[in-house]
Each structure stands twice: as C-alpha cells, then as structure tokens.
Amino acid sequence: MLLEVAANSLASARAAQAGGAGRIELCTALELGGLTPSYGEIALVREQVALPLYVLIRPRAGDFLYGDDELETMRRDIAACSSLGCDGVVIGVLDAEGQLDMARCRVLVDAAQGMGVTFHRAFDLVPDPSRALEDVIALGAERLLTSGGARSAFAGAERIRALIAQAGDRLTVMPGAGITPGNIATVAKLTGAMELHASAKRSHPSGMRYRPDDALDMGTGETRTDGDEVRALLAAWAAG
C-alpha cells in the first residue's frame, strides 16, 4: 500500500512527508490539473524532502497536443530534473486523434535517462484505453495514473480494475482523482490497486491583514497538502 501525494509546493511536500505519504508528485497549479514547477521549487523539495520525488512535466494547461517548442521545453525540464537528482518524471503526449504520440513520448522517455516514468491522466482522454495501455507499456513507463476515463477514480473503478488485470506485472496502474478519506478504501477494494494518488489538500486563508475593498479575486489564500489529511487517507485505507 503506497499513497502518492500531488504536492503543489515545498510546504505541501513537507506536509505529505509528515503525514506518511510514500511518494511525491511535485507540480504547481493544481486548479489547472497541474503544471511543471519551477527549477527553484524542485531543487528545494529535493534538498529538504526524503521521499521519492516525481515531477510533473506539463508546460501549459489545456490539451496534451504539443508542438516542437513545447516538446523541447519538456525535454529540458526533464534534463533539469535529472540534474537535481529527482527519482522520476510524469509525462503524457497525445496526437490530434487522441492516441498516444509515441514518437514525442519516446523523446521524453529517452530524456529521463534512467529516472522512473509515470504516464499521467492524458490517458483518460484516449478513445481506446486498452490499446493505449499497451502503448504506455511499450514506452517503458513503470506506472500509469488514471481515473479510468471518468471524473473520479471511484466513478471509473470498473475500468481501472480491467486495466490492472490487463497490465498484470508489466506496469503499475495507480488510480487518482477525487480520492478522499471517505472513499479511499472503497476505491482500493473496487480496483484492487496497491498504489493510490491524491492531493490531500485543504484551503488555507490568507495571512494578509490589509485587503482593498475590491480584491479582484487575488490574495485570498492558498490550497495545499495537509498532513492531517494525508494521515486520514492512510488510516481510512488501512481500516478498510
């Protein structure tokens, strides 16, 4: 049983570690589905957090159809992760038909140079999950993060279970999206998964004492991983 936590900052990564997480997926902009964090953030987390560290490689929000400049940006971000001693990266590129773009994905896998590779939830947008799973395995990825093509891992549990059966021991299928202390044990039972992914986040109010009358929806606080929420997830999973 391993809980991977999507941490959106150094503070989140520290909280995840304190709460008992088994691995960190470091990103920023969780509200956009996650983007690549800065070099400085990655370096600080690598220096201060002992957990295995995987970094999300996603240069922008939106779809997963990337041009040459974006591909080169991702390749260089992976090189930076390697130089900082990260344990792995989290990638995903699709073509215009929704299939895995194998040529571009291979560029990123080759850039990882021995780091672990997780294929992210771009997978949930493919037209044929069974075929796409074989493509992910052919790339040499060690792990697939998926909600089973649904809005949550709970809703997609049946498909996730089928993907786990298809993958066998060739790849780890890790359910993620909408996992809470209230459903984590059920998701684990329904899917048979041994690794789960959650953000374990809570909203934290801003420390600003001065706020203009019209705050323009800025300066209202932040959302980050909470150590107690991580502990609650793990306790609920163990109890289930």
159 in Cβ contact with 141 (< 8 Å): no
The secondary element (H helix, E strand) that includes residue 223 is strand 222-225
Q: Which pLDDT score is estimated for 219?
A: 62
Per residue in 115-135, pLDDT (tens digit) is 999 999 999 999 999 999 999
49 in Cβ contact with 14 (< 8 Å): yes
Q: Which pLDDT score is estimated for 153?
A: 98
Classify the C-alpha dihedral 53-58-60-62 as positive or negative.
Answer: negative
Q: Which pLDDT score is estimated for 214?
A: 65
CATH fold for the domain made of 2-203? TIM Barrel (3.20.20)
Give me the residues of the chain with pLDDT under 50, please: none
Going from N- to C-terminal start, the domains of the chain cover 2-203
Q: Which pLDDT score is estimated for 223?
A: 87
Q: Which pLDDT score is estimated for 116?
A: 98
Classify the C-alpha dihedral 11-12-14-19 as positive or negative.
Answer: positive
81 in Cβ contact with 115 (< 8 Å): yes
Distance CA 35, CA 16 (A): 19
Q: Which pLDDT score is estimated for 215?
A: 59
